[in-house]
Amino acid sequence: MDCSVIICTYNRADILRENLATLLQQAYAPGKLEFLVVDNCSSDETPAVARMFANRGPHPVRYVYEARQGLSYARNCGFREAQGEIVIFLDDDALPEKNTWVANLIKAFRDPQVGAAGGD
């Protein structure tokens, strides 16, 4: 697995739906990319939304529940669960560019001069 994209979320089922729909449009080789939704104690429809996308596209969407409240717990949980060589965190309210977002990030990380990257 080349890459794991981790989305930590709390009670944002509506935006998560849009986020996952956009992510599943990423042009990347099947079996080389996964999306991991880390639910941080949501009380809305977040689990159902994540599971709705589980088998919808060429890239798996996995759902993980983190019972300890807080972004740090959620991120650490996602990192432990990630199977990708490269780990990308995406905020649950950020919509990535369609098709090429993941491929462009992975291309940058293949450069031996790059060890970490951040954005807003």
Band (pLDDT 50/70/90 cuts) for residue 114 is confident
For the range 106-114, what are the long-range contacts, defined as Cβ-Cβ under 8 Å and sequence gap of 24 or more? 106/2, 106/3, 106/28
Which whole number is the average pLDDT over 29-41?
96
What amino acid occupies position 32? Answer: K
* Beta pairing class for 33-39 and 61-65: parallel
Q: Which domains are assigned to the chain?
A: 3-109 (3.90.550.10)
Q: Closest Cα partner for 64 from 49, 79, 45, 77?
A: 77
Q: Convert the pLDDT of each residue in 42-70 to its tens digit.
A: 999 999 999 999 988 899 999 999 999 99
Which whole number is the average pLDDT over 1-26?
95
User: Which strand (E) or helix (H) includes residue 111?
Assistant: none
More confident site: 69 or 108: 69
